[in-house]
Chains A and B, each alone.
Chain A
Amino acid sequence: MRIITWILHCYPRRWRERYQEEMLALLEQYTITFKTMLDLLLGMLDARLNSVYRTKEGSMLQHIRDNRALSIIYLCSVAMFLITINFWMLVTTSFARDPLFSLAYNGMFFIPIISLIVLLAITCTTIGKAVNKRQWGTLIFAVICLGTTICLFLQAPSVYHLDLASILDWFSNSFYLSLLLNVLELTLSFGCGLFVTGIYGLKLLRKRQGWPLLFAVLIATLPLASYIPFVSQSFNNAPITSTLAFVCLIIASYLPLSAFLLRLTNGDLSRRGWQTSRIVGSLWGLFLLFTLVIAILWSVEHLMVDGGISLLNPVIMTTLTLIITLFVALLALARSFLIQPEGEGEIKAASAEVSGTQP
């Protein structure tokens, strides 16, 4: 019964206020089996994904939606940049000597540049709004994003070893910035994680919320932990490794930072922050599992290539990984930020009717 009570505790608060007592009364008469526990877990997941039980944002709704849209566009731009720069590199490598493709691979170079310009524009817009409304937490977040965007902008040549005599390549190599930016990139990711843990964690400690604090720590450390599979010996030689590692570091930083942004704009620390941290942490865990599966498949592929058998196309694998990365990022943001006030009204009316009070 203790396990059942724990499972029921994982249901949304509003669901528990409505149904927990009668559910417990039923379960006390019921023969609980493994199937019952699985069914309750499924019901918990269903209730968690039900937008009716999300907390209402009140007058902050419009502002949060603006930031949600900005965060989604930001992540899309990051993903677009990664996909297109990778394709550009692959096309350059494969067709460099074919005159028919010279226009194509030169033209593709502008797509990642446009993505980065979008990133910069969004970040600057967010900074402007934060300054106007004196939202210092949002401002800090936006400045971190701006710094990391500049790192992306300047690091691309060194990461992907571009050979073009472009201003980017000249700038990063001439001033030995590539080495510095490699370190700065990692520092920013780790620093952001510590920032989230530090500010968020201290407040959670003060409110004695152990579980949200644990998840906050997990979110802070996952950006580095996700890199571990890609530095081990068995994965080091896979061409897909650098792209996946880059994706892990960048996307892993922005997902928890987006969750932190929501917490800052909301102002209600305990419930919304906990829900967002848990959803982000869970989805990130799934993504990490997926990248590990990909890395394992790639290792198997390498072993089989030695034997003369080739199963997987690296271009397809890379593309699939990046597309799924984008999907996970969007899903995490959508599930974290989605608010439907009309559902809020229905559940309120139902609750009021039951209790005999006015909604």
Chain B
Amino acid sequence: MPRRLPELGRFSDPALLILSSLAGGPKHGYAMMEDIDEFSGTHLEPGTLYGAIERLEQRGWIEALPSEERRRPYRITAAGATALQEQLATMSRIVATGQQRLQTT
């Protein structure tokens, strides 16, 4: 399956944030939202969050764990970790190129 976040359309950014959050360990929805808000300053609404979770689950990049008191934690899979790594590598190249060009101007 192609590991390309842009195919998720309007959920590509939330998906990246969710994968980054889950890379730090399994979390349920509310914990993900708080973690994402803390490290990125982005506030995800529940509708967007679960839209992205649904798409990530369909692609096998995250998987659900057994529910704990009506809350269901998720964890990142190996495929999801690889997709996250590729996306972050691309973004790192963009950041490095941008910084380099700013320094020369």
Question: Which has the most chain B C-beta neighbours within 10 Å: A19, A24, A35?
Answer: A19
Give the secondary structure class of A's interface.
helix
Q: How many A-B residue pairs have CB under 8 A?
A: 66
Within residues 30 to 63 of chain B, which ones have a CB less than 8 A from any CB in chain A?
30, 33, 45-51, 53-54, 57-58, 63
Q: How far is the CA of A22 from the CA of B53 in the complex (A)?
A: 12
Chain B residues engaging chain A, CB cutoff 8 angstroms:
28-30, 33, 45-51, 53-54, 57-58, 63-64, 67, 69-72
Q: How far is the CA of A219 from the CA of B62 in the complex (A)?
A: 42
Besides the known contacts A25-B70, A42-B48, 6 further A-B residue pairs in the complex with CB atoms under 8 A apart: A19-B53, A25-B30, A30-B30, A39-B45, A39-B47, A42-B47
Q: Is the CB of A22 within 8 A of B28?
A: yes
Q: How far is the CA of A177 from the CA of B42 in the complex (A)?
A: 68
Within residues 282 to 304 of chain A, which ones have a CB less than 8 A from any CB in chain B?
none
Q: Is the CB of B30 within 8 A of A26?
A: yes
Q: Is the CB of B48 within 8 A of A21?
A: no
Q: Is the CB of A19 within 8 A of B45?
A: no
Identity of the chain A residue whose Cβ is nearest the Cβ of B69 in the assembled complex: A25
For the complex formed, measure the closest distance between the CB of A57 and the CB atoms of chain B, giving whole angstroms. Answer: 21
Interface size class, chain A: 20 to 34
Q: Is the CB of A21 within 8 A of B70?
A: yes
In the bound complex, residues from chain B placing their C-beta under 8 Å from that of A26 are 28-30, 33, 46, 49, 71
Q: Is the CB of B29 within 8 A of A22?
A: yes
Decide yes or no: A354 and B48 within 8 Å by CB, A22-B29, A23-B29 being known contacts.
no
Q: Is the CB of B50 within 8 A of A19?
A: yes
In the bound complex, residues from chain A placing their C-beta under 8 Å from that of B48 are 39, 42-43
In the bound complex, residues from chain B placing their C-beta under 8 Å from that of A39 are 45-48
Q: How far is the CA of A33 from the CA of B60 in the complex (A)?
A: 32
Q: Is A205 an interface residue (CB 8 A)?
A: no
